[in-house]
Amino acid sequence: MRELSVLNKYFWKYRYRFLLGILFVISSNYFAIIVPEITGYIGLKIQSILPNANKKSIHLDKISSDYFVKRFINWMEALSIGKVITYSCLAIIVASLIRGVLMFCMRQTLIVMSRHIEYDQKNEVYDQYQKLDAEFYKSHTTGDLMNRMAEDVSRVRSYTGPAIMYLTNIVALVGFSVYNMLKKDVHLTLMVLLPLPILGVTIYIVNSIINKKSERVQALLSDLTTNAQESYSGIRVIKSFVQESAMLHFFRDKGEQYRKNAISLAQTDAIYFPSMTLMIGLSTLTTIYMGSKMAIDDGSKVALIVEFVIYINMLTFPVSSIGWVASMMQRAAASQKRLNEFLKIEPTIKSESGSAKADLQGDIRIKNVSFTYPHTGIKAISNLSLDIKKGEKVLVIGKTGSGKTSMTQLLMRFFDPDEGSIEMDGVDIRKLELNSLREQMSYVPQDVFLFSDTIFNNINFGLRAPADIETVRLAAKRASIDNEILELEKGYDTLTGERGVTLSGGQKQRISIARAFIKQPHVVLFDDCLSAVDNKTEHEILEGMKTYLHNKTAIIITHRIFTTIDFDQIIVIDAGKIVEHGTHNDLLNQQGYYTYLYQKQILEQKK
C-alpha cells in the first residue's frame, strides 16, 4: 500500500474537490440515518396507542441523539397519530431525496476527481515514454507498454475514485449506525452485527478468487486478440502458404483455453451474489430472532427491532463492499508499483546538465568510435573515424548489416558510442542539448513510418510551426510525389496510416523524404531512402535533392551508386569499419567493393 502514497500529490492538487467529496459522503450518510430513527419513532407511537400499551411518554434521547431530529419529534408529540405518521413519512421522503442529491454530488466530486487524476497520470506515463531511449523500447513489447497506459492507470483510478468513495462511505455509515444502535441496545447490537465481519471476509476471499481468474481470462483474451489481429494482417501470407486450416486449429486451441477459464470465472461469479444474500439474510434473521425473544419479555422492543432491521439492511451492502474495496486497493497498489518502477527509469541518453543548445554549422568529426548494441552484444561499429567538413556530401555504401544505419543512430544520439567520440563543430555531441541537436538535423530513416493523419500533417511533422501548403508542396515536388498526391481524391488532406488510404512503399518513402526536405537544417542524414523507387523517380528525387543539399552537410546511405550528385567523400563500410575511402575516381582505382558495385550497376543499366 506504501506504493499508493505517490498519489498524494494528486490528492493535494485536487484537495478542494476531494474534501468537498468527503463532506458529501458524510452528510449523505447523516440523512440515511434519519430514516431508521423516524421509523423507530413511528413504531413507538403506534405501540403507545395499542390496548394495554405502556403509556409512558417517549424519551427523546432514546430515539435520537441528533438535535434536529429531536426537535422535529418534539414538535410532533402534540399532534394526532395520523398526522405524526404523515409528517414522519414526509420527513423520510425528504431525507431520502436530500441523500440522493448528496450522493449525486459525492460522485460528481470524487469520481470526477479520479478521472482528472487518471488524465494526469496518463500524461505522466506518456511523457516518460517520450523521454525513454531506443534501448528501453528494444527491451519492452508494445503490449507491455500499452498495458501500463491502459490497464495499470485504470486500476489505480479505481483506488483514487470508487475505493476512496466507498471506504469513506463505509466508515461514515458504520460510524453513524453503530453509534445509534449501541445507544439503543448494546446487547442486540453486538448480536446482530456478528455475521457482518464474516460477510466482509467471505466477500474478500471470493473477490480475490474472481480477480485472479479474471486476470487469467483477460490475458487469454488479449492473446486471442493478438492472434486474430496477426492473422488479419498476415492474411496474404497465410493464404499464399495455404495455412488457413493450421491457423484455424491454432486459434481453436487458444479459444478452447479461453472458454474453459471464462466458464470457471462465471461459476465463481455465480457464488458471489448468493453468498452475499445468504449473509444478509443471516443478519436479518438474527435481528428478528433475538429481537422477538426480547419483545416477548418487553413488548416495547418491537419498534426497536423494526429500526434494527433497517440498520442491518443499510449496513450489509457497505460491509460486504469492504472485501471488494480491499481487493481493489491491492490491485491498485500492484499497478502503482509497476508504474513507480517504470517512472523511475532514467533514460541513458539525455542532455547533460548545463549542456549548450546546438547551433550546428555542419562540421562533423567521428573519432575512433566503437559501438556494441547493449541488449544483443552485437558490435556494429568498430574504431571508425571520419572527418566531414561543412557543406560536404558523403556517400556511405556497404553490404547489409555492415553498420551504416548504426552510424546514423550514433550521429542522432539514439545511442552513445562505447569508445571514441562524435563532434559537431568541434563540440562533443554528448555536451549538446539533445533536442536541439536532433532538431537541427533532417533524418530519413530506413523504415518509413507515417502517422494516421493527413499527408499535409505528415510532411509538416518535424516543424515547430506548421508550414503553409505552398512550402509543403515544394518539399513534395522535390521528393517527386506532389503529382501523385494531387491525383488522390482529397489531395494533401488524404488520411494515411491504418485509418487511411493504402499508399505504395515508394509513395510512403517519398512522403518521408518530403518530411525531411521541409526542414532546413545544416546537417542531413538519408538512410537508404530511395530503395523503393524506380530509376526514373530516383533520378528526379536526386535532382530535387541537389538543390536542397546546397550548403548543407549530407550523409547519404545507399545500396546504389549515384553519379547525379558530386560526392566529396565516399566510404565503404564493412563489419563496422571503413574499408574504402575517397572520391568516385579514387575508389574506382582501388578496384574494391565500390568498383564491383559500380560495374554491376552499369551492366544492369545496359541490359
Ligand X SMILES: Nc1ncnc2c1ncn2[C@@H]1O[C@H](COP(=O)(O)OP(=O)(O)OP(=O)(O)O)[C@@H](O)[C@H]1O
Binding region for ligand X (CB under 6 A)? 138, 373, 376, 378, 380, 398, 400-406, 446
Nearest distance in Å: CB 373, ligand X: 3
Type of residue at 235: I
Residue 534, Ramachandran bin (φ over 0: left; ψ between -120 and 50: alpha; else beta):
beta
| Of residues 257 and 446, the one with the C-beta less far from ligand X | 446
> Taking the complex as a whole, how short is the minimal distance between the CB of residue 411 and ligand X, in angstroms?
12
Hey, what amino acid is at 30?
A: Y
> Contact, 117 vs 7, CB < 8 A?
yes
Q: Are 64 and 95 in contact (CB under 8 A)?
A: no
How far apart (Å, rounded) are the C-alpha atoms in residues 314 and 467?
A: 64
For ligand X, which is the closer residue by CB, 311 or 443?
A: 443
Which helix (H) or strand (E) covers residue 526, if one does? strand 523-527
Instruction: Collapse the DSSP code of 322 into the 3-class scheme (helix H, G, I; strand E, B; otherwise coil) and give the result.
Output: helix
Q: How far apart are CA 521 and CA 240, in angstroms?
A: 46
Partnered with residue 495 across adjacent β-strands are 454
CA 93 vs CA 32, 100, 289, 510, 552: distances in Å: 11, 10, 29, 71, 80
* Residue among 275 and 446 whose Cβ is closer to ligand X: 446
Measured from the Cβ of residue 318, the count of other Cβ atoms closer than 10 Å reads 21
Residue 56 contacts by C-beta under 8 Å, 6 or more apart in sequence? Answer: none
> Helix or strand or coil: residue 452?
coil
Q: How far apart are CA 106 and CA 103, in angstroms?
A: 5
Of residues 331 and 404, the one with the C-beta less far from ligand X:
404
Q: Which is nearer to ligand X, 360 or 396 (CB)?
A: 396
- Would you say 304 or 557 has its CB closer to ligand X? 557
Q: How far is the CB of 528 from ligand X (least distance, A)?
A: 6
Q: Which residues contact 450 (CB under 8 A, 6 or more apart)?
A: 458, 496, 497, 503, 508, 511, 512
Least separation in angstroms between residue 137's CB and ligand X is 9
Q: Least Å distance between CB 515 and ligand X?
A: 20
Nearest residue (CB) to ligand X, 409 versus 496: 409
The DSSP bridge partners found for residue 369 are 384
Query: Cβ 253 to ligand X, closest distance in Å?
Result: 33
CB of 527 to ligand X, least distance (A): 7
Give the residue with the Cβ less far from ligand X, 88 or 558: 558
Q: Judged by CB, which is closer to ligand X: 164, or 448?
A: 448
Among residues 274 and 377, whose Cβ is nearest to ligand X? 377
CB of 2 to ligand X, least distance (A): 37
Shortest spacing between CB 385 and ligand X, in angstroms:
17
Closest CA to 332 of 110, 151, 113: 151
Q: DSSP string covering 532-580, please? A: TS-HHHHHHHHHHHHHHTTT-EEEEEESS---SS--SEEEEEETTEEEE
> All 3 cell numbers of residue 290?
433475538
Nearest approach, Cβ of residue 532 and ligand X (Å): 13
Q: Smallest gap, in angstroms, from Cβ of residue 372 to ligand X?
A: 9
Nearer to ligand X, 327 or 402 (CB): 402
Q: What is the CA radius of gyration of the chain?
A: 37
